Amino acid sequence: MKTLLHPTYFPSISHYIAMVQADEIEFEFDDNFQKQTNRNRMYIYSANGLQLLNIPVKHSNNKHQKYKDVIIEDAFGWQKNHFKSLEASYRTSPFFEYFEDDIIPLFEKNHKFLLDLNFEAFEVVNACLGIHLPYTKTTEYFHEAAQKKDLRFLVNGKKDTTLLEPYKQVFDDKHGFINNLSILDLLFNEGRYALEYLKNQPLIK
C-alpha cells in the first residue's frame, strides 16, 4: 500500500518514521498551499528550548495557490539565519560536524520554488542516513485517498500527536526532552544510528 505524504522542509521525525517504514511513498503534488504548516517550517532545539525556523514565501493574490507554485521570498537572507541557528543549536552535538558539509550547500543556493527546496532537503537527509527512498508524485488532488495510507495530516504539527521514544538531545539538561522536532535534531544527536531509531518506532497511524 502506498503511503501518501506531503514533502516538507527538513521533515519532522514522525514524517521520517512514516517514510522509512512505508512500502511505497507517494508525495502530494497537487494540493493548495496552507500557511503555518511544515511545508515551509521546521522546529529545532535551541539553548532557549523550542525554536521555529520559517521560510518566507511570496504572497499570492490567488486564494487557492498551488503548493508547487509557491515562490520563496529571498529578500530576507533566511538561508544564513537558518544555518546560523542550526550551528548555534547543534555545534556541540556529536554529529553536527560530521554532516555539516552535506547540508551547507542547501543554504548557499537560491531556490525559486519552495517545493524544489523541500525535495532537495529530503535527498540531503537521505544521503546523510545512507538510504534511498524512491517515491512517486500524485497527478491530481483527492480529498479522500482511497486505498492509500493517508498521512498528509503530518504536515500540520498541531494534528500530529506522535509521541517518540526519548533520545539524548544537546540541551535536555535544561529543558528536558522535546518531542518530534526536525529530522536534523535526531541526525545531529544520533548520527547513522538515527536510521535504526526510525525503524524501531511504532508505526504512524
Helix 96-103 to helix 78-90 angle, to the nearest 10 degrees?
170
Q: How far apart are CA 121 and CA 12, in angstroms?
A: 12
Q: Which residues of 69-83 are buried (b: 16+ CB within 10 A; e: fewer)?
A: ebebeeeeebbeebb
- How many CA atoms are closer than 13 Å to the CA of 54, on its beta-carbon side? 8
What's the pLDDT tens digit per position in 137-165?
A: 999 999 999 899 999 999 998 899 999 99
The one-letter amino acid at 42: M
Query: Which pLDDT does position 176 carry in this prediction?
Result: 98
Residue from 192, 184, 189, 187 nearest 85 by CA: 184
Query: Which pLDDT does position 80 carry in this prediction?
Result: 96
Parallel, antiparallel, or unpaired for β 2-5 and 135-137?
unpaired
User: What tens-digit pLDDT sequence spans the chain (205 residues)?
Assistant: 999 999 999 999 999 999 999 999 999 999 999 999 999 999 999 999 999 999 999 987 777 899 999 999 988 899 999 999 999 999 999 999 999 999 999 999 999 999 999 999 999 999 999 999 999 999 999 999 989 999 999 999 889 999 999 999 999 999 999 999 999 999 999 998 999 999 999 988 8
Residue from 158, 162, 178 nearest 170 by CA: 178
Query: Which pLDDT does position 189 carry in this prediction?
Result: 98
**Would you kindly state where each structural domain of the chain is located, as residue ranges?**
2-200
The total number of residues shown for the chain amounts to 205
pTM assigned to the model: 0.96
